[in-house]
Amino acid sequence: MEKELYSMIFKRKSFHIFRDIGNINPDELQSIEEKYNNLTPLINSIQTAIRIVPADQTTCKRGQEYCILLYSEKKDNYLQNIGYIGEQLDLYLASLGIGALWFGIGKPDEPTYNGLDFVIMIAIAKVADDKFRKDMFKSKRKPIDEIWNGEHHREIGKIVRFTPSACNTQPWKVTAEEKSLTVYRYKKSGKRGIMPADKVAHYNRIDIGIFLCFLDLCLMKNDISFERELFTDNAKDDCEEVLTAKYTLLQ
């Protein structure tokens, strides 16, 4: 993964409504497609693809100019993989001055592409630089003690807690030790925002992939090399805590 994406963590924001937008030019569209092909997947064996389509070819009506449609094979942890790749793209878009919104409930005109199934879309539009986040630390997030168990590596926890998530559910917990980080997908009973109950686990798996992207970038920024073990998440929707990944920290 490109370490340079780390700085965009502080700039990116979710644009729930696009106003006063500019136009994304053809060279920028091409660069998005080219960048996607060089992003780092969470799981190498899962095939994915994107299509960039005009807004009117989807059901997303947030004032965007285009939507990036993400497609994938349906294999174990494919949702986490899409979140991990898609968030790298989200951060890259911020570097181009392109605002983005992960839009979970949108439907595309084409539900399949090259044998892959549609998973989720990212709405995009060109926005002025002053529309991006000015102070990430003013964003509403859980206190660090709710997501980070342990006194080790809290400087990383203070950044990764700003990972975006569906309906701001922030479905993660980390147990931090000196030489390891253990990540869990966490859902407090009865807490789901406005999401339908049968969709919470679906979107929270994508969220966990986004979280792992932020976590990896923070580790890289702090020059901490690591080995990651990823666990298959086939837990039932009512599970409160599901083991997701364990990081062995090498330095």
Mean pLDDT of the chain: 94
Range in 15-19, 41-45, 126-130, 196-200 the model is least confident about: 196-200
pLDDT tier, 133 (very low <50, low <70, confident <90, very high otherwise): very high
Distances in Å between the alpha carbon of 64 and those of 9, 138, 215? 21, 25, 29
pLDDT of residue 191: 55
Model pTM?
0.95
Residue-wise pLDDT tens digits, 146-188 = 999 999 999 999 999 999 999 889 999 999 999 999 999 998 7
In terms of CATH architecture, what is 140-249? 3-Layer(aba) Sandwich (3.40)
- The Cα 11–Cα 83 span in angstroms is 19
- The Cα 62–Cα 127 span in angstroms is 13
What's the CATH code, domain 3-131?
A: 3.40.109.10
- Helix, strand, coil percentages in the chain from 3-state DSSP, rounded to 5: 35, 25, 40
- Which tokens is 47 given? 């095939």
Evaluate if residue 237 carries a pLDDT over 80.
no
Domain boundaries, the chain: 3-131, 140-249
- The Cα 242–Cα 15 span in angstroms is 30
Distances in Å between the alpha carbon of 226 and those of 43, 149, 247? 16, 19, 6
Taking residues 138-145, report their average pLDDT. 93
Write the Ramachandran bin of 123: left for phi over 0, alpha for psi from -120 to 50, otherwise beta.
Answer: beta
Residue-wise pLDDT tens digits, 34-93 = 999 999 999 999 999 999 999 999 999 999 999 999 999 999 999 999 999 999 999 999
Distances in Å between the alpha carbon of 78 and those of 44, 71, 199? 11, 10, 15
Q: Do domains 3-131 and 140-249 have the same CATH topology?
A: yes
